[in-house]
Chain A
Amino acid sequence: MVHPPQAVSAREGERVRRGLVRPLLALLIALLFAVPAAPVAADGMPSITLGEEEAAKVFGSLFESRQLARVDLVNSTHERITLFLSVYSLDPGNNLTLMVPLRTLPALVTGRPVKESEFRDEQLLDRTEAEVVRQDPDEAWADMRDETSGALQGVFGSMLFTLPGEYIREKLHLVSDDYLGYKEDAGGERWAVGFDDEPVQHYEFDGFSVDVFGVDAGPRLADYLLEKGLVLPSQGDLERYNTHYLAVVEGATEPPIDPDDFALLQRWVPNTTADLASELREDPVKTGAEVENYKYDLGYEQLRAELEVTYPQSSEDWYTLMYSLRSIAEDLIDALFGKTDFAGEALTIELPLDSSKLFFPLGTSVGWPNPVGDIDVLFSVPENRDLELPMTSDAYFDGSHWYLFQMSSANPAFDLESPLRAGSESARKEAARASFLTDNAGALAGLLVALIAIAAWFASVLLIKWRWGLKGRTVRDPRLWLMLGAAIVLSVPGAVLAYLLVRPLPLKELNGRVLPLAQLAMVAPACVLLLVGVLL
């Protein structure tokens, strides 16, 4: 999906072009959390000690659906990080603390509730994803090869199978399990937020608050966690953030579907719900067909069997309840494995650069107990600047140079960090060439194959003329062009039949006729070129 350019990007690019660039500092997400050992108290303060059994249980049911972020170079001294925070839990109702480690004290923090699709649209994540593919030379040549293959098959397949036959061959295939697609549904995710303690900076927003704690100035991260009774899931991997500032977002865990529906599911079929959490941990990525199969297994068999135990089947409303629970379970499965548009919070933090480097603390992902579904981190610098970021793809548009880091179902334990470099003019030109090739692959492949078809056809005509010693026009003969068109629409035997119906010559007299003989001579090259198209 391609989205319109954002004005903010152009403004940033302009600032950078004015020479304000200096590598920056970085940031952020360390998503940690803490859970209460006992049911959450009314004041929402967590009270947990490390290793407690209940904490492990709740911790294991927590999932981060998306980790989306964009890092912009605002000017020579500052960068801006925009985060999408979305967390859901299959054990809802517990307090949750998210902490974003920051190397420098933020100059500005803003935030607002947003849907994932809106965030991706606004922050140009989808557009960058499309542009990265469009400007990749390998992808461009792959597109060209695919288009040429399709055009070769289309033209020469039509000569052998008729045009409708070739359409059928390319487009119509019998239905298989893979045909089943994803069902989209919206899962809800909201944060109930409250803060205490004495932050270095405090920001209030519509719906939630952000406190920034200067850990260096006060307790260290580990001390802060101990003091607050919070648990870090993976202490060793997160030690390097101990000296960072923290932006803390506090909330409560919620399920990915309507909480009332989820409560109904937990009440009547608790084992089924627990099994769903186990399945999500063991196999977090499923294809459309696998999701449908899992829905059947869980909703039609396991759920029904459990409900027979927990609710008397003799009740008149047993079937009503069973159908309702099945529908809720299917919605939940769609939310967990499908393409749900998650709700979350967009947190924007502007902060000074650190050591003139762009930095993103991706390594905080290890703080999550389960693999993060989709990780997309987008970096934006002026188009005359380059970054050295591992495992990223880049693209140029809207006056900026974009770097996109993507992973799925992973917990990367490394950070993204790069100094700013002077841009490469040759790389930009290569990207421009690749995007031209991608944009015009269809037309170029069509032209190429049209030339091949015309060359093959007139070569066969010349061969027949030479073989039979015939004179006359070739390229300027409109009947030859007409027969070439007829061969593509009706197939070679169809075109010969049409010719012979118009001119019903005796069989022996066909020997000296260019038009039908050239058609028949086209059969062999058409077979070869169709094969080439298929192999491509």
Chain B
Amino acid sequence: MRSRSSSLLGLSIINGVLLALLSIPSFIAFSEYMRNGGLEVPMEAEVCAYIFGPLLFVLAAPVILDALSLSAYATSDASRRALYVLVLLPVVVWGFMLASITEGFIPSLIMGMPLFITCAIAIPFSALVLHRHIMATLYSPYSAHIHCRFCGAQLVMAREDQYVKCRRCNAINANPFSGPVGDGSLPSPPPGAGTDGHPDVQG
């Protein structure tokens, strides 16, 4: 999780830098547009559009996939907001850019400066929020890492919690650290849990 979260942060920063760079020719081209009234594009802006436009699609994809893979660990409101920004904001940018695909993204590039700047700030910031939340949750002294007794998935739980539900198979796993010292027995299952640890299914 640590490496995935770190890679998400790194990719998001690259995305942010790319968008910030893209906002410079966008500003120049927009100024030209306001001055001339016609959609004539400086050569630099055209080059930027042809290079950075497709790159924006390519680099945003791993950010979205990484963020989705970390969705189970976004357990607070702030981290979930950050997660949704990371997943959906690049999609909004994609839509905005695709609007002018027949013109080589150039009109979108000219008019996209506010969106690019917003994304250049929001995407790395959201990745940082999510990364810090994950690090604080997974690697705090109050967290415990266990494996599901039934499917083997890695689970993270607060040390003071009695039970944790497996995110893969929904089985109830008891906290191995919460029982009396030297007892060796598992705590009694929570209400509604079956004898095998899985929830009873009615009907």
Contacts and interface: CB of A to CB of B under 8 A. Distances in A.
Interface string B65-93: 00000011011011011011100110110
B125 interface: no
A160 interface: yes
A280 B88 CA distance: 60
Contact of B88 (A157, A173, A500, A504): A500
A174 B92 contact: no
Contact of B107 (A157, A174, A490, A505): A174
A161 B85 contact: no
Contacts of A395: none
Contacts of B96: 161-162, 164-165, 491
A166 B39 CA distance: 16
Interface string A161-175: 110111011001111
B107 A491 contact: no
Contacts of B88: 493-494, 496-497, 500
A161 B95 contact: yes
Contact of B110 (A166, A172, A507): A172
A179 interface: yes
Interface string A487-513: 000110110110011001111000000
B106 interface: yes
A24 B77 CA distance: 87
Nearest to A499: B84
Given A173-B39, A504-B84, A165 B89 contact: no
For B71, B72, B81, B85, the residue with the greatest tally of chain A CB atoms inside 10 Å of its CB is B81
B92 A168 contact: no
Interface stretch (B19-27, B97-105, B131-139, B154-162): B97-105
Contact of B99 (A165, A493, A500, A507): A165
Contacts, number: 86
Contacts of B91: 493
A46 to B, nearest CB: 52
Given A165-B108, A500-B84, A491 B92 contact: yes
Contacts of B85: 497, 501
B122 to A, nearest CB: 10
Interface string A318-341: 000000000000000000000000
A500 to B, nearest CB: 4
A155 B90 CA distance: 21
Nearest to B91: A493
Contacts of A500: 80-81, 84, 88
Most buried by A among B39, B41, B78, B99: B99
B28 to A, nearest CB: 16
Given A501-B84, A504-B80, A173 B92 contact: no
A349 to B, nearest CB: 48
B171 to A, nearest CB: 16
B22 to A, nearest CB: 15
A165 B39 contact: no
Nearest to A160: B95
Contacts of A164: 96, 111, 115
A165 to B, nearest CB: 4
B95 A172 contact: no
Contact of B111 (A168, A173, A175, A497): A168
Interface string B108-120: 1011000100000
A174 B50 CA distance: 14
B38 interface: yes
A168 B108 contact: yes
B200 interface: no
A221 B138 CA distance: 109
Contacts of A497: 84-85, 88-89, 92
A490 B93 CA distance: 11
A496 B98 CA distance: 19
A177 to B, nearest CB: 12
Contact of A165 (B40, B72, B95): B95
Contacts of A169: 99-100, 107
Given A161-B95, A493-B95, A174 B41 contact: yes
A175 B75 CA distance: 51
Contacts of B40: 174-175
A160 B72 CA distance: 28
A521 B199 CA distance: 32
Contacts of B107: 168-169, 172-174
A160 B92 CA distance: 8
Contact of B100 (A168, A179, A507): A168
Contacts of B89: 497
Nearest to A168: B107
A153 to B, nearest CB: 11
B92 A494 contact: yes
A154 to B, nearest CB: 12
B39 A162 contact: no
A491 B95 contact: yes
A166 B97 CA distance: 10
Contacts of B103: 172-174
Contacts of B108: 165, 168
Contacts of A165: 95-100, 108
A175 B115 CA distance: 24
A60 B83 CA distance: 78
Given A173-B107, A179-B38, A162 B80 contact: no
Nearest to B98: A161
Contact of A162 (B75, B83, B95, B106): B95
Interface in A130-163: 157, 160-162
A366 B51 CA distance: 60
B81 A501 contact: yes
Contacts of B74: 506
Nearest to B84: A500
Contacts of A494: 88, 92, 95
Contacts of A173: 39, 103, 107
Interface of A: 157, 160-162, 164-166, 168-169, 172-175, 179, 490-491, 493-494, 496-497, 500-501, 504-507
21 contacts: A161-B95, A165-B97, A165-B99, A168-B99, A168-B100, A168-B108, A172-B39, A173-B39, A174-B41, A174-B106, A174-B107, A491-B92, A494-B88, A497-B84, A497-B85, A501-B81, A501-B84, A501-B85, A504-B77, A506-B71, A507-B71
Given A160-B98, A179-B38, 9 more contacts: A161-B98, A162-B96, A164-B96, A168-B99, A168-B100, A172-B39, A173-B39, A494-B88, A497-B84
- 3 closest A-B pairs by beta carbon, nearest first, are A165-B99, A161-B99, A504-B80
